[in-house]
Amino acid sequence: MTTATAQAHPNIALVKYWGKRDEDLVLPLAGSLSMTLDALPTTTSVTLDPSAREDAFELNGEPASGERLRRVARFLDLARERAGGEPPRAIVRSRNEAPTGAGLASSASGFAALALAASAAYGLPRDARSLSRLARRGSGSAARSVVGGFAVWHAGDDETSYAEAIDGPDLRMVIVTVDGSGKAVSSREAMRRTALTSPFHDAWALSAAQSLDAMIAAFRDADVTRIGRIAESNALRMHAVIQSADPPIRYLGPASVAVFDAVRRLRGEGLDAYATADAGPNVVAICRPEDAADLARALAPLGGVRVAAPGPGATLTAGAAA
Choose between 153 and 260: whose C-beta lies nearer to its own copies. Answer: 260
Say how far apart CA 50 and CA 176 lie, in whole Å: 44
3-state secondary structure the chain: CCEEEEEECCEEEEECCCCEEECCCCEECCCEEEEEECCCCEEEEEEEECCCCCCEEEECCEECCHHHHHHHHHHHHHHHHHHCCCCCEEEEEEEECCCCCCCCCHHHHHHHHHHHHHHHHHCCCCCHHHHHHHHHHHCCCHHHHCCCCEEEECCCCCCCCCEEEECCCCCEEEEEECCCCCCCCCHHHHHHHHHHHCCCHHHHHHHHHHHHHHHHHHHHCCCHHHHHHHHHHHHHHHHHHHHCCCCCCCCCCHHHHHHHHHHHHHHHCCCCCEEECCCCCCEEEEECHHHHHHHHHHHHHHCEEEEECECCCCEEEEECCC
Rounded least distance, CB 191 to its own copies, Å: 16
Contact 79, 119 (CB under 8 A): yes
Q: Is 253 in the site for its own copies (CB under 8 A)?
A: yes
Q: Is 239 in the site for its own copies (CB under 8 A)?
A: yes
Q: Which of 52, 73, 128, 257 binds its own copies (CB under 8 A)?
A: 257
Say how far apart CA 189 and CA 187 lie, in whole Å: 6
- The CA-CA-CA angle for residues 125, 12, 93, to 5°, reads 50
Rounded least distance, CB 206 to its own copies, Å: 7
Q: Is 267 in the site for its own copies (CB under 8 A)?
A: no
| Total chain residues near its own copies (CB under 8 A) | 31
Q: Which of 206, 217, 222, 322 binds its own copies (CB under 8 A)?
A: 206
Rounded least distance, CB 234 to its own copies, Å: 10
Rounded least distance, CB 204 to its own copies, Å: 7
Choose between 122 and 260: whose C-beta lies nearer to its own copies. Answer: 260
Q: Which of 244, 288, 304, 309 binds its own copies (CB under 8 A)?
A: 244
Q: Is 125 in the site for its own copies (CB under 8 A)?
A: no
Interacting stretch for its own copies, rule CB under 8 A, among 106-114, 161-169, 204-212, 215-223?
204-212
Rounded least distance, CB 20 to its own copies, Å: 19
Choose between 106 and 194: whose C-beta lies nearer to its own copies. Answer: 194
Q: Is 272 in the site for its own copies (CB under 8 A)?
A: no
Q: Which of 50, 61, 66, 247 binds its own copies (CB under 8 A)?
A: 247
Choose between 3 and 276: whose C-beta lies nearer to its own copies. Answer: 276
Which of 88, 84, 86 lies closest to 121 in space, CA to CA?
A: 88
The number of C-alpha atoms within 13 Å of 289 and in the hemisphere containing its C-beta is 6
Q: Is 268 in the site for its own copies (CB under 8 A)?
A: no
Q: Is 261 in the site for its own copies (CB under 8 A)?
A: yes
Site string for its own copies, 215-234 (x = CB under 8 A): --------------x--xx-
Rounded least distance, CB 201 to its own copies, Å: 8
Q: Which of 18, 57, 122, 204 binds its own copies (CB under 8 A)?
A: 204
Residues of the shown chain interacting with its own copies in the complex, contacts defined by CB under 8 A: 199-200, 202-204, 206-207, 210, 229, 232-233, 236-237, 239-241, 243-244, 246-248, 250, 252-258, 260-261
